[in-house]
Amino acid sequence: MTNSSPRRTPTKPPGMDDETFARLKAEAIAPYRGLRRFMYAAFAASGA
């Protein structure tokens, strides 16, 4: 069985600048990346 609905590309809402849209798009691809990196660093520092 195949997925009949193709993946949609998000479009920038009117009034939003390119930098904000790029940041939100990156957050959607890798949610909580900054938090995860902080937690990895905190665990590494506490275990070393």
- Domain range summary for the chain, segments of one domain joined by +: 18-47
- C-alpha 23/C-alpha 21 separation (Å) is 5
Please name which of 41, 23, 43 lies closest in space to residue 31, comparing C-alpha atoms.
23
Q: pLDDT tens across 1-48, in order?
A: 566 666 777 788 899 999 999 999 998 998 999 999 999 999 999 986
Q: What's the pLDDT at 4? A: 62
Please name which of 1, 21, 26, 23 lies closest in space to residue 11, comparing C-alpha atoms.
21
Sign of the torsion formed by the C-alpha atoms of 10, 13, 18 and 19 = negative
Q: What's the pLDDT at 47? A: 85
